[in-house]
Chains A and B, each alone.
Chain A
């Protein structure tokens, strides 16, 4: 092969946590690639391992987490081979994360201005004084109409959505090559959300960045993502081009997600509910979704399905699709 390697290549990522005497397997063999200037969406059940996947890639998990992978390559460079010191130089400059919970990304004792100053000055080319103008214009870009007030505010003095936007401004200031954005717009009204998505898109094209975009909003996923991966119980159960996955889902879990989203639009007294318990125990063998799947077959309870091709560049982890 002579093509240049993809920006990010993740092979068989496994992350588990020690909880009491047990190990919780949060990510169970996740593999995907992200190309240059590509936006890969990550959707799926709450608790299925989306955030842990992102945090594992950036080594941001606490000590009781065990992370293993066959390979995590960034531009062909094996990340697992880096020691803490050299990895820290990559993180924040080449790789950055917008967290689901913005509060945790800020030092409560420092103003937003302090945080932005540090982010901007981390890119060495900015001189000591120019940061303020850049910070103000970044805040304006994320739809904040009183940047001076926000710069002098402490995190607890801002609304949830303002803090989320300050964090997005901070990450964009770093100009990373890969942004992991974990539900970056959950706290935002529609208008600001549109503006932020546009900003991420513009930033992504201008700086030729790639994005791993975690979201629960299927309409946004369709709007912003090139490809989409659907997670369930620590595994990717479907991956493919965004419109193929959202319009013609091949895994029954992905189909259920879509059906629920449609039921919300249909104005029923009660919404369509997927049978069974979410977040229940993952069976030792068979398909993780078998206990709740409307299309379950006897063999689903014993055979663990591998990824099967279901269309061009489109795969699903389901025994309905012969191999």
Chain B
């Protein structure tokens, strides 16, 4: 029972708009100077209420970092995060406070996101009490019903995090995120530890929730089949940048960026070498900051790619590439094994 109406899609000002987000991590090198690592390099993205946006791309490309930045876990070095009339990027951490309930995250590593000394029941009860989602007396029932919705049993409430399998804990994390009826959920590899049959159940649940309550989802996944099933739009990341972004079908049917194409191709388990990976050796790039990040590995590289950085083009189907894949070359790849 909600004590507050859930968000409905399409309300103006409620789209989260990321503009030119740069995020540098500083690490101590031990000898005086700090090293800087640019994890996000000018990322812009809109997440409208009710939409499911998939974030796919290379491991280490910044997907988790981007997700955490959207929720105020990391503070961007520069750029803007417009949400409900505020620029959260520039504001003090306390500016996030009114939106804490609105914005929930399912972390990639569920074990470290639970307090090991609390039973899972207490971990689920805490946000319910904090945000007064249901009257106090109903909390145990609500916890039981949440666990059932993600395919667990009320009995699991008595267990501690390390007493669950990887996939079971991942589902408790999903239950916790949906429990406070947020407006947006960033779900980081939220179904990757589940067998296909439980995965189907959880994906159906997320889709149904999205359709019924209008919750917006940023769905980080490396599973393109899952992304295709669930997402309305997909953004492909490579080395701190979005290199392609568009409606799901367009990404699958007409990938434009050579990296997207090679990701799609790699799903065909044909054991052929990955064709688009060019020879990296012996490339002279005068200034890597001004070149296309993908150039060293790109099979479609032009001389221009080594000296100029391609900008992400215009929506609805945007891509950052000087020599995009022609339509005919991108015969769609099956996302999942044929029977």
Contact = CB atoms under 8 A, between A and B. Distances in A.
B197 A278 contact: yes
B52 to A, nearest CB: 13
A7 to B, nearest CB: 25
Interface string B33-66: 0000100000000000000000011111001110
Contacts, number: 176
Nearest to B25: A157
Interface string B203-218: 1100110000000000
B201 A190 contact: no
B189 A186 contact: yes
Given A161-B60, A189-B59, A216-B199, A258 B339 contact: yes
B196 A216 contact: yes
A103 B263 contact: no
Interface residues of B, number: 66
Interface string B160-192: 001111111001000000000000000001001
Interface string A147-164: 001001100011111100
B109 interface: yes
A272 B153 contact: no
Interface string B54-94: 00111110011100000000000000000000000000000
Interface string A272-292: 111001111100000000000
Contacts of B263: 189-191
Interface in B230-272: 262-263, 266-267, 269, 271
B8 interface: no
Interface stretch (B129-137, B220-228, B284-292, B302-310): B220-228
Nearest to A218: B337
Given A219-B336, A247-B339, A279-B168, A260 B200 contact: yes
B158 interface: yes
Given A44-B195, A46-B193, A273 B337 contact: no
A262 interface: yes
Contact of A216 (B25, B156, B193): B193
Interface stretch (A123-131, A263-271, A301-309): A263-271
B3 interface: no
A19 interface: yes
B13 interface: no
A264 to B, nearest CB: 5
Given A188-B222, A278-B201, A153 B59 contact: no
Contacts of A46: 165-168, 171, 193-195, 198
B100 to A, nearest CB: 23
B229 interface: yes
Given A162-B60, A191-B274, A47 B167 contact: yes
A270 B204 CA distance: 6
B194 A216 contact: yes
Given A159-B60, A216-B199, A274-B200, 4 more contacts: A19-B163, A44-B195, A159-B64, A187-B108
